[in-house]
Amino acid sequence: LPAAVLLPDTRLMDVKLGQLGSWLAMRDFTPGGILGALRRGYNRYYNKYINVRKGGLGGISMVLAGYIVLSYVWSYSHISKYK
């Protein structure tokens, strides 16, 4: 990391393991901060996979695959009773 970049401005992938604790301490874990992070993540996903000039099935299929995995995890206790 360059010395001019402050730790709160760095992305998680750019944080070294020794800096992880201080990076997490600088995050905003209030409901507004969490909502803002979810909104930024959704906007990043939407602009990368959905709002493109020549779109494909990549973005929609990832959402569908995530929904399938999540619904399986939620219903696993009911499914495992019948084995």
Q: Enter the tokens of residue 20.
A: 């992880």
d(C-alpha 63, C-alpha 38), whole Å: 15
Query: What per-residue confidence (pLDDT) applies to 68?
Result: 94
d(C-alpha 81, C-alpha 75), whole Å: 10
pLDDT digits (tens, 9 = 90+) for 28-57: 899 999 999 899 989 998 888 878 777 678
- In this model, does residue 4 exceed pLDDT 60? no
Residues sharing a CB contact under 8 Å with residue 5, sequence separation 6 or more, in sequence order: none
Query: What per-residue confidence (pLDDT) applies to 9?
Result: 74
Any idea where the domains of the chain sit in the sequence? Answer: 1-51, 56-82
Q: DSSP assignment of 20-39, as one string? A: HHHHHHTS--SHHHHHHHHH
